[in-house]
Amino acid sequence: MRILIVDDDDAKVESIKELITIAIPDGGAEIVRTETINDTLVKLGEGRFDLVVVDLMLPQIRNGDPVDATNQWCELIEHDLVGRTASWIVMTAYAEIAGLARESFARHNVAVIKYETSSRWDVPFTQKLRETYSTRPLDFLIVCALEKERQGFVHTKSILGEKSVVVGLDCQLISIGKFRGMIVVQPGPGMISAAMVTTKALMTFRPSAVAMSGICGGREGETELGALIVPDLSWNYQSGKFIAGKLTPDLLQVQIPPNVRTRLIQKANSEYSKSLRNGLLHLELVNAPIQVGTMVSGSQVVADPAVGALIAEQGRKVIALDMEVASMLLTARDFYDGGGIIFAAKTVVDLANPHKDDRYHDYGCAVSARFVSEAINELLSFDASHVAL
């Protein structure tokens, strides 16, 4: 657990460190300290913290006069990715400022604790510290529309944990390498369900990365059965206005972050695609490719090539269709405010025609789960090493 202490009072910092050592077992806390507002902004820009413990009266720069940092901390919590995904505790010895600040921080669910050496400030601090440790942010989130899509992760090198219900979400713990995450299954397929589940899960678990794994339909002539689609562009193909019986599209397009797209493209080669399929059935699909391209989403299952052709008129090179990806990507983009690791991967199990069946569903779920788990490990590892440099 990474903890940033922001305070210019040496004795206070030592008291806080002592309580952290007691409350978090087995040396599980990595503690970093800053003493000015500007140094804190720099440190937060260098990497993620699970917990930030801040004073309110601090100098903006070294050797400067103390100023009230309430507005700057609230701005970080509301608009900065690192600030939003961390837990915060405010500790101040100034009673009047603490009283004024409580309302501002309450909007962000942040506790303000009055620090006095003569009082029992350590009790609420320790309680909040333990709560934060038990609910510390996860490294990643995986959203699946169907339980069978979550079961695909049985075929990965990931370690699956217990299932549970968290704030009404159908959750299962998962570890990928050194990273902790959660797989959340929607109560049903569709864009509304995807938006609601993704929003609730992001706010609850505050992950650094979010991905979607599962199965989709492909457009005949643009892809093939068994192909793994990594969408770099998506939209709701049903959005728009009907005029004279015809839909005039009003497309709200969403792209995955450019740095994520570049690294996923580097993985999309034939040899890697074959390796994802090792030990799985359906050897006839072993040469199916990985394709990075446009996948569009809607609330209906498409089993008519003519409908697929109409949808394709909305944009060049639509290669696949599903019922969730556009919604998940839009929700995650807004949560991360342009940052974060966001992507999806789905395997083509039908060609959006009347011949749809379930024959390749389990296979497709396993292939996409393997890609997603390996991509999450690589993207988070690269992100961590980049920050360390």
pLDDT digits (tens, 9 = 90+) for 134-189: 778 899 999 999 999 999 999 999 999 999 999 999 999 999 999 999 999 999 99
- The answer to whether 237 touches 167, Cβ cutoff 8 Å, is no
pLDDT value, residue 35: 96
State the pLDDT at residue 263: 95
Domains of the chain (ranges, CATH numbers): 2-134 (3.40.50.2300), 140-388 (3.40.50.1580)
Q: Which two tokens stand for residue 36?
A: 């000015």
pLDDT of res. 388: 40
For the question of whether the overall pTM of this predicted structure is more than 0.75, the answer is: yes
Residue 238 token pair? 């049903």
Radius of gyration of the chain from Cα atoms?
A: 24
Contacts of 83 (CB under 8 A, 6+ apart): 44, 52, 76, 77
Closest CA to 1 of 102, 191, 137: 137
Tens digits of per-residue pLDDT, 52-79?
999 999 999 999 999 999 999 999 998 8
The predicted structure's pLDDT at residue 386 = 46
Q: Which residue has 């699970």 as its token pair?
A: 50
CA distances from 322 to 85, 141, 155, 352, 354 (A): 29, 20, 23, 10, 16
In this structure, what token pair is assigned to residue 268? Answer: 């999309």
pLDDT in tens, the chain (389 residues): 899 999 999 999 999 999 999 888 777 889 999 999 999 999 998 888 989 999 999 999 999 999 999 999 999 998 888 888 888 999 888 888 888 888 889 888 898 998 887 678 888 899 888 888 877 889 999 999 999 999 999 999 999 999 999 999 999 999 999 999 999 999 999 999 999 999 999 988 989 999 999 999 999 999 999 999 999 999 999 888 877 777 777 888 999 999 999 999 999 988 999 999 999 999 999 999 999 999 999 987 877 777 777 787 887 689 999 999 999 999 999 998 877 899 999 999 999 888 888 999 999 999 999 999 999 999 999 875 544 43
**DSSP H helical ranges for the chain:** 10-23, 37-46, 70-79, 81-85, 95-106, 122-134, 147-151, 191-205, 258-267, 270-276, 305-312, 325-336, 361-388
